[in-house]
């Protein structure tokens, strides 16, 4: 198993996973993005936002344990009522959590990974207030640092 060690590797693979399942999740066509967007052109939409990479030296031979964090941002702005928008946004976030928690090694890229937090709220994009949920997803992997002679 070759472990991934960069935010971009995990972010791109997460985007691909969401795109492959977009119809089943009910995400609008063209509604999945790498990185947060200033404007959300369709609803519902999802942005994969790489957040943090933290490394800790933990073994001989300059081996490190690496924790990578991604945010999966869910946006919902269809003109309905507040209750319906909130419910549909929460349900989409829950379905995404189920999907990304289904593979404990994220296609062999990690030692383990899982959703650590889901926060529901609002976001303003291009003067439009939208329901939003932020899913925090973490992966643990490892990496050997170079040993220069």
Residue-level pLDDT at 78: 65
Residue-level pLDDT at 1: 59
Residue-level pLDDT at 127: 85
Q: What is the pTM of this model?
A: 0.92
Residue-level pLDDT at 73: 97
Q: Which residues of the chain have pLDDT under 70?
A: 1, 78-80, 149
Architecture of the structural domain at 7-144: 2-Layer Sandwich (3.30)
Contact predicate 37/48, CB 8 Å: no
Q: Which two tokens stand for residue 139?
A: 């992966």
Give tens-digit pLDDT for 115-140: 999 999 888 888 888 899 999 999 99
Give tens-digit pLDDT for 10-23: 999 999 999 999 99
Residue-level pLDDT at 70: 98
| Dihedral, 84, 89, 90, 96 alpha carbons, nearest 10 | 150
Report the alpha-carbon distance of residue 38 to residue 36 in Å, rounded. 7
Crossing angle, helix 7-20 and helix 82-101, to 10 degrees?
110
């Amino acid at each position: 198993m070759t472990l991934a060690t960069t935010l971009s590797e995990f972010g791109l693979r997460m985007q691909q996973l969401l795109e492959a399942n977009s119809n089943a999740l009910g995400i609008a066509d063209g509604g999945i993005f790498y990185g947060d967007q200033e404007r959300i052109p369709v609803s519902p939409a999802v942005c994969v936002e790489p957040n943090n990479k933290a490394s800790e030296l933990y073994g001989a031979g300059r081996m490190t344990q690496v924790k990578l964090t991604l945010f999966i941002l869910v946006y919902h702005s269809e003109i309905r009522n507040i209750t319906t928008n909130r419910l549909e946004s929460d349900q989409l976030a829950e379905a995404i959590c189920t999907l990304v928690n289904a593979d404990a090694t994220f296609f062999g890229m990690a030692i383990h990974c899982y959703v650590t937090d889901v926060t529901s709220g609002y976001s303003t994009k291009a003067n439009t207030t939208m329901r939003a949920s932020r899913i925090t997803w973490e992966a643990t992997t490892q990496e050997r640092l170079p040993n220069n002679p």
